[in-house]
């Protein structure tokens, strides 16, 4: 980092710092190849703008391109770029916007990044909102975000063993029995899956509710008289990717930091971090994340996805 010209820290720890600044200008002061993970959620192209402002759908890719170019420049050779981007509707039409896919194609075709994998973040606490859902009843409830995992190389640093899930009861029973399975109807040799690897490999559907109204962050904001950031992702989301894609001491960047959720997650995992945002009030709330003790263990919540025909109970066959 060029400390002579880089904006002063608004808040800092031994591992990282927040800066009130234009993130595009600040990123241009950082050396190429210095960041191991960029994990961020920029403003979406929404029909109902947020207080921090949202680019219009028609110019979203043009707006985001310079940010993506700097991110690509900053990534280490084995670094990753995790981008959370919500879907939206075309203006005045019940048709989906294509901007999340246009952003993805721009990053890969123009900037040379690789799509390591696409993930879906399912938020089971999402409420039904929007004109085409609530008023006209023409479309389903939005409950999922695209999460694009991009990388500088085809083989970025990644270790899924760090984010294994506990085995289900059935699998634990099979491992205890020592029985060897046979080939499944699909042709898979089940014997390959009977080895105890300490846990199951996660799939690319992440079920995670957003930060609730009783979170330590929101309580601290209320007590301090600070308006909370209106669009926060839960800390467990960046924590998942930081564990999987970085090592202790690596540098994690969030150029749209908001309340610095990514920075707090990196701090807890002993990674260096850098959070940039132009809104000082949001970073004031972010400082509170480092001054309060938030729960880090997952709650005992059972998420349920219903069968598509679960509610059709009176229709005759």
Tell me whether residue 8 is one of the annotated catalytic residues: no
> Would you say 90 and 97 are in contact if contact means Cβ atoms under 8 Å apart?
yes
- For residue 123, give both structure tokens: 């938020």
Distance of CA 155 to the CA centre of its chain: 20
Q: What angle do CA 88, 43, 55 make, to 5 degrees?
A: 75
Cα 40 from Cα 54, distance rounded (Å): 15
The residue written with tokens 């929007």 in the block is 130
Tell me whether residue 250 is one of the annotated catalytic residues: no
> Would you say 243 and 27 are in contact if contact means Cβ atoms under 8 Å apart?
no
The residue written with tokens 């690897």 in the block is 197
Q: Residue 52's closest CA among 253, 222, 227?
A: 227
Helix (H) or strand (E) holding 249: none
Q: State whether residue 84 is helix, strand or coil.
A: strand
Query: Per the residue annotation, which of 17, 43, 55, 84 is the catalytic one?
Result: 84
Query: Per the residue annotation, which of 17, 23, 41, 80 is the catalytic one?
Result: 41
The residue written with tokens 């807890």 in the block is 268
Helix, strand counts (H, E) of the chain: 8, 9
Query: Per the residue annotation, which of 17, 42, 142, 259 is the catalytic one?
Result: 42
Q: Where are the alpha helices (DSSP H) in the chain?
A: 23-27, 60-74, 99-105, 169-177, 216-224, 236-245, 261-268, 280-289
The residue written with tokens 């990753």 in the block is 80
Say which residues have a Cβ less than 8 Å from residue 74's Cβ, sequence separation at least 6: 27, 30, 31, 32, 33, 34, 35, 38, 253
Helix (H) or strand (E) holding 317: none
Tell me whether residue 254 is one of the annotated catalytic residues: no
| Burial class, 136, CB count within 10 angstroms (exposed 0-12 / middle 13-18 / buried 19+) | exposed
Active site residues: 41-42, 84
């Amino acid at each position: 980092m060029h400390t002579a010209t880089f904006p002063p820290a608004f808040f800092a720890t031994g591992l990282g710092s927040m800066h009130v600044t234009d993130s595009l200008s600040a990123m241009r002061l950082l050396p190429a190849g210095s960041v191991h993970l960029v994990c961020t959620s920029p403003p979406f192209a929404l029909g109902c703008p947020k207080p921090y402002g949202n680019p219009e759908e028609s110019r979203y890719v043009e707006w985001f391109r310079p940010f993506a170019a700097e991110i690509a420049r900053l990534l280490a050779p084995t670094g990753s770029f995790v981008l959370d981007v919500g879907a939206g509707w075309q203006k005045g039409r019940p048709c989906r916007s294509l901007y999340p896919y246009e952003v993805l194609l721009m990053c890969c075709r123009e900037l040379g990044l690789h799509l390591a994998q696409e993930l879906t973040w399912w938020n089971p606490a999402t409420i039904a909102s929007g004109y085409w859902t609530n008023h006209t009843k023409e479309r389903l409830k939005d409950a999922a975000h695209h999460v694009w995992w991009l990388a500088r190389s085809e083989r970025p640093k990644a270790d899924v063993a760090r984010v294994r899930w506990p085995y289900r009861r059935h699998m634990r029973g099979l491992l205890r029995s020592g029985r060897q399975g046979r080939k499944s109807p699909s042709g898979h040799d089940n014997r390959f899956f009977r080895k105890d690897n300490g846990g199951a490999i996660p799939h690319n559907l992440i079920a995670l509710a957003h930060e609730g109204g009783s979170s330590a962050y929101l309580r601290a904001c209320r007590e301090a008289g600070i308006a909370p950031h209106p669009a926060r992702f839960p800390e467990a989301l960046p924590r998942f990717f930081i564990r999987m894609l970085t090592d202790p001491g690596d540098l994690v960047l969030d150029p749209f930091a908001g309340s610095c959720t990514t920075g707090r997650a990196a701090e807890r995992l002993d990674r260096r971090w850098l959070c940039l945002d132009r809104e000082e009030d949001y970073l004031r709330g972010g400082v509170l994340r480092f001054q309060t003790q938030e729960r880090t263990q997952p709650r005992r919540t059972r998420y349920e996805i219903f069968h598509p025909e679960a509610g059709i109970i009176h229709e005759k066959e």
